[in-house]
Amino acid sequence: MTLTSLHLDLFSNIIGEDGAKNLGEGISKCVHLTSLNLNLNCNSISDNGVKYLGEEISKCVTLTSLNLNFNSNSIGENGAKYLGEIFSKCVTLTSLNLNLIRNRIGDNGVQYLEEGISKCVNLTSLNLHLNCDSISDDGAKYLGEVISKCVILTSLNLELNDNSIGENGAKYLGEGISKCVHLTSLNLNLISNRIGDNGAKYLGEGISKCVNLISLNLKLYGNSIGANGAEYLEKGIYKCVALTSLDLNLSANSIGENGAKHLAEGISKCVTLTSLHLNLNNNIIGGNGAKYLGEGFSKCVTLSTLNLNLSENNIGENGAKHLAEGISKCVTLTSLHLNLNNIKIGGNGAKYLGEGISKCAHLTSLNLNLCGTNIDEDEKRIL
């Protein structure tokens, strides 16, 4: 039998460099492989282990799908260099998934990866998990360059949370994304970086060029984004006229009610949305912000899934009323998840929500988090 697909799950062992070498020698004998999935999470393989594996994997010249999970393996820039050399030889790849979370590759390591991945001109799907990898604006520049060279990508997933990427890094990423005009799915995770309003502007400009997007997931938690940044993002999002799924996480920023207004305006123009996930936890949007949001998603007449997190804001009972009015107009909803944790909406706010939700006759899934909302037991029963 000729093996064409191989999946090895060896996470949390102690195979080390020697084990990686032995694995590589075995894999290299599978000369007809088209798909390789190798999970070596937490195995202390280090740079030399990557080198041994790389030398052997690069002999699998028919690979079209490669999934490498090297999470938490003490891999530095030299290991990233060896990885880049692998990719430069795997020119038939159409799908690449690389997980280097919690290593220490840094900006130079990203440059080596860019040099290799840019040779994979047939890629349609690229997933890079580089969380907690000491990447700054320079590393983001190299990522932007590699993205811009993968001109036939339809799916892009960049996981970059907990690095040191600022507004210049966001600019490079935005410029790279703008070249990927065939994208239908984009997932960008920049949680706990420092892109600010200007960085949000560059990202919005890049996204605006991806007019074929069907699914957009932006995770920008904790990035010092204010109302201006929200407006820039809105200008990008509303150009994506084919969106059916939008997931936007702006928790722990400071967009305020004006930022909520801008986001609502963008969402209202995405008339083909079926799924909306909006996380604005801790953003001081106030009652008016809740009003704008309610008016925005009420225009999305094809919504079937709405997930809204407004916890730790100050919307009050009037805000709850406006949200309820918006929800009541989403008559095609089948799934509603509403998180209003630690918002003092009181009994009247609970009543408004109950009346609004009752209009959603097709709901099959309902999840309400109303902890710390000043609702007594009788009011809970009414709701």
Assigned domain for 36 exists: yes
**In the structure encoding, which two tokens stand for residue 272, read together?**
């083909």
Helix (H) / strand (E) element for 109: namely helix 106-117
Q: What is the domain extent for residue 33?
A: 1-134
- Indicate whether 69 belongs to any domain: yes
Print burial letters for 283-292: b (CB count within 10 Å at least 16), e (below 16): bbbbbbbbbb
Averaged pLDDT for residues 356-367: 95
Average pLDDT over residues 336-365: 91
pLDDT per position as a tens digit, 54-113: 999 999 989 999 999 999 999 999 999 999 999 999 999 999 999 999 999 999 999 999
For 7-16, 38-47, 373-382, which range has the lowest pLDDT when averaged over its residues?
373-382
Q: What is the pLDDT of residue 98?
A: 98
341 within a domain of the structure (yes/no): no
What pLDDT shows up at residue 381?
A: 62
Where residue 348 falls among pLDDT bands split at 50, 70, 90?
confident
Between CA 76 and CA 105 the distance in angstroms is: 4
Token output for 196:
């600010």
What's the pLDDT band for 383 if we cut at 50, 70, 90?
Answer: low
| 76-to-45, 50, 145, 237, 382 alpha-carbon distances in Å | 11, 10, 21, 36, 59
Band of the pLDDT at 372, cuts 50, 70, 90? confident
Residue 14: name the closest of 73, 68, 102 by CA: 73
- Higher-confidence residue of 179 and 374: namely 179
| Residue with the two structure tokens 């969402």 | 267
Q: How far apart are CA 21 and CA 70, in angstroms?
A: 15
Band (345; pLDDT cuts 50, 70, 90): confident
Q: Which helix (H) or strand (E) holds 17?
A: helix 16-27
Mean pLDDT of 277-285: 97
Residues 6+ apart with CB under 8 A from 257: 284, 285, 286, 288, 289, 292
- Rounded mean pLDDT, 220-227: 98
What type of residue is 360? C
Domain count, the chain: 1
SS3 123: coil
Quote the DSSP letter at residue 376.
-
User: Is 70 exceeded by the pLDDT of residue 52?
Assistant: yes
- 78, two tokens: 């030299």
Residue range 135-156, pLDDT digits in tens: 999 999 999 999 999 999 999 9
- Domain assignment present for 46: yes
Which secondary structure element, helix H or strand E, spans residue 323, and what is its range?
helix 316-328
The answer to whether residue 376 is domain-embedded is no
CA 274 to chain centre: 18
CATH of the domain at 97: 3.80.10.10
